[in-house]
Amino acid sequence: MSIATEQELKTLIEKNKQQQMKLSDVLKYEFQQLKAQKDLEGCLNTLIAATTVLQEEHHKTIKAISELKSELSTGISQMIDAANQIKNLKTIPLATRQQPKKQRNESIIEKIKGCAVILFLGLCITSSFVGIFYLLNRLFDLNIL
């Protein structure tokens, strides 16, 4: 073989190596793009799942708030009724001394019933506040608030 042919062969081999390196770089770049696309798809799927869970929790929260509103309105109306009963009870003690023993016992029973109603209302209100605080705690846990 002549020197010129060997030189051309070396040049061709060098160009071939450079093209192989360029092709290798292109393949690496394509692989990185495919990997990034799969990662992005995974992130998108995670985001969709998180949005679905958040939407379900939102519906549960709305339902719980409406239930708490109805409980609170019931508790408030019961408190108003109890307050009215207390107003009525305040007038009874003066009259009980003049009533016979049986009527006095009945008025005492009525007072006890009134106190029981007040205690029950306090329990209802307390449980409503506990429910509200539980709901707020759930919202904070879900990073909504």
Express each pLDDT in 36-57 by its tens digit: 899 889 888 888 888 888 888 8
Mean pLDDT of 31-35: 90
Number of structural domains, the chain? 1
Taking the C-alpha atoms of residue 91 and residue 85, their distance in angstroms, rounded to an integer, is 10
Residue 142's identity, in one-letter code, is L
More confident residue, 138 or 97: 138
**Residue range(s) defining the domain that contains residue 112:** 3-141
Supply the pLDDT for residue 24: 81
72-113: per-residue pLDDT in tens? 777 777 777 777 776 766 555 555 555 566 666 677 777 777
Q: 118 pLDDT band (50/70/90 cuts)?
A: confident
